[in-house]
Amino acid sequence: MSSNFRIKKQTLEAGIAGAVVTGLLVSISLIFLPIAILLGTVAVPLAIAGIGSTSLRAWEILNRANQVFGLTKQAQILLSDESEKA
């Protein structure tokens, strides 16, 4: 099985699992109003934590790409060439 197909399959499975969990939470919230209130109050801190962890992961990926591809050196070369032309 190719890596590309495996990634697509895992993404599909994660999407379906997320939809099922969301459906269950919405159903429970419609039946029990206090649970809906609790979920609403917890949603904002969880969203902030998710954005923070995603930002940290993006920073790690950028640093790794810089090590592998030398992005900083390439940017310095590109910028110095542009400043000499001006």
Each residue's pLDDT tens digit, 30-84: 888 887 888 788 888 888 888 888 888 888 888 888 888 888 888 888 888 766 6
pTM over 0.95: no
3 state SS of 2: coil
Radius of gyration of the chain (CA): 22
Residue pair 39/29 in contact (Cβ under 8 Å)? The answer is yes
Q: Where are the domains of the chain?
A: 1-31, 45-86
